[in-house]
Amino acid sequence: MTTASIDSAASDRRQRWRTHIEESILPPLVALVIAAVVGDILIIIFGQSPGEVYRQLLEGTWGNAYGFGQVIYKATTLTFTGLAVALGIRAGLFNIGAESQLASGGFLAALVGLAMPASTPTVIAILVCMIAAALGGGVVGAIPGALKARFGASEVIVTIMLNFIVLALLNYIVAAHIHVAETLHTPEIRVGALPRLAAISATFSGSAANTTFLLALAVAAAAWWYLFRTRPGYELRAVGLQPEAAEYGGVRVGAVWARTMMLSGAIAGLGGLNYVLGYKHYYEEGFGTGSGFLGIAVALVGRNHPVGVVIAALLFATLSQGGLAVNALVPKQMVDVLTAVVIIAVATAVPEVRRALAASRRREAGTRNRENGNRESGVGNRPAEVGHVEIANPGPSSQFPIPTSRP
């Protein structure tokens, strides 16, 4: 390619952009279609008409103000946990602890909220609670990060174990010391309630959706900016892709791990505001149960990209709320099954669809027959690497990698 002109470089770039879009959008779409087919079969087994069930599912979610608001409410928490997991994965860390980081963030926000006098100005109260939520989650996230950086302890094991420890501890504190009689929640916070979205627009009337959703969108935007526009983000992604190259590039890998786990925990912790400041105004045992784990699926389906995470969070929130809407026709557990099928389909279909895309592109390229110099197999050349398989066609790799192996 000795005569590469500016023109061909520009058209190359357009081509790559197209490739990029195709690789980001098509695989999840295929996964959804697969999930829909499986859903059809399940619905037919229950003796219902798929069309009717899907109609009700849509009507009960995006079709009315309450349902839509509930979707937004649920998507808010999932956006936080999904972003938390995605940020970790970008740095090569698998944060399974969003569950306890979320709870801890909510708890600390509630505790701080309760401690503030009722006369505290709303803006200040909200800010203080936000900091508390981020701190609560951040501390829980920082522990596995520091242990990994210092001792090489697997963050997977430590975050799982911290889920047990932190949730047990919080439950104990609430049950033994600060719960309201006959309940498992704290007294109500009198300061700094985040306004419901229903108060702003009738679109959400009656639902729990609140302005935390805007915060979630802002955090997603900030995460994108951090990852792709800043030096720490550049270093974080380098650590996730090739820790040894990052080390060579003067990055202290351990410090990045520690910092990223703390940030990840802080983001999950902020999710606690959705319930505590936006909805009930108290901390209740198990308020976010499952949201932390579902965050892993959100990150997976959203391909660890902040925009993808927001979309995936909306999808899973729709399914979750939709389960309630179709409960009259089919058991709502069916929707749980469907959620799991979506996740499995994404995990399976994404590589498959990308292969197919690459193959079709190859056929296309055959006619253009561009000679582009050599493409060395880019797979790392560590000597004696286990399971070192040359990939037939890496293709222009997506910007949203799903890690297939853990360091």
What is the binding site for another protein (CB under 8 A)? Answer: 1-2, 4, 9, 12-13, 16, 229-232, 234-235, 237-238, 241-242, 244-250, 252, 358, 361-362, 365-366, 368-386, 388, 390, 392-397, 401
- Min dist CB 339 to another protein, Å, is 30
Closest by alpha carbon to 339, among 308, 317, 309? 317
Residue 201 or 360 having the CB closest to another protein: 360
Residue 75 or 246 having the CB closest to another protein: 246
- Min dist CB 52 to another protein, Å, is 45
- Min dist CB 275 to another protein, Å, is 32
Residue 11 or 333 having the CB closest to another protein: 11
Side chain identity at residue 272, one-letter code: G
For 365, what's the count of Cα atoms within 13 Å in the CB-facing half-sphere? 14
Torsion angle defined by CA atoms of residues 216, 221, 226 and 229, in that order, rounded to the nearest 10 degrees: 180
Buried b (16+ CB within 10 A) or exposed e, 330-361: beeebbeebbebbbebbeebbeebbeebbeeb
Q: Do residues 109 and 277 touch, judged by C-beta distance below 8 A?
A: yes
Residue 16 or 55 having the CB closest to another protein: 16
Return d(Cα 125, Cα 117) in angstroms, integer.
9
- Min dist CB 105 to another protein, Å, is 25
Residue 247 or 336 having the CB closest to another protein: 247
- Min dist CB 55 to another protein, Å, is 42
Return d(Cα 143, Cα 281) in angstroms, integer.
28
Cβ atoms within 10 Å of 59's Cβ, excluding its own: 14
- Min dist CB 214 to another protein, Å, is 23
Residue 9 or 118 having the CB closest to another protein: 9
- Min dist CB 181 to another protein, Å, is 50
Residue 63 or 394 having the CB closest to another protein: 394
For 383, what's the count of Cα atoms within 13 Å in the CB-facing half-sphere? 0
- Min dist CB 22 to another protein, Å, is 13
- Min dist CB 218 to another protein, Å, is 17
Contacts of 364 (CB under 8 A, 6+ apart): none
Residue 177 or 368 having the CB closest to another protein: 368
Q: Please tell me whether residue 377 adopts helix, strand or coil conformation.
A: coil
Burial of 321 (0-12, 13-18, 19+ CB in 10 A): buried
Specify whether the backbone of 57 is left (phi greater than 0), alpha (psi in -120 to 50) or beta.
alpha
- Min dist CB 247 to another protein, Å, is 6
Residue 117 or 383 having the CB closest to another protein: 383
Q: What is the largest CA-CA distance in the chain?
A: 79
Residue 369 or 405 having the CB closest to another protein: 369
DSSP string, 339-354: HHHHHHHHHHHHHHHH
Q: Please tell me whether residue 288 adopts helix, strand or coil conformation.
A: coil
Contacts of 2 (CB under 8 A, 6+ apart): none
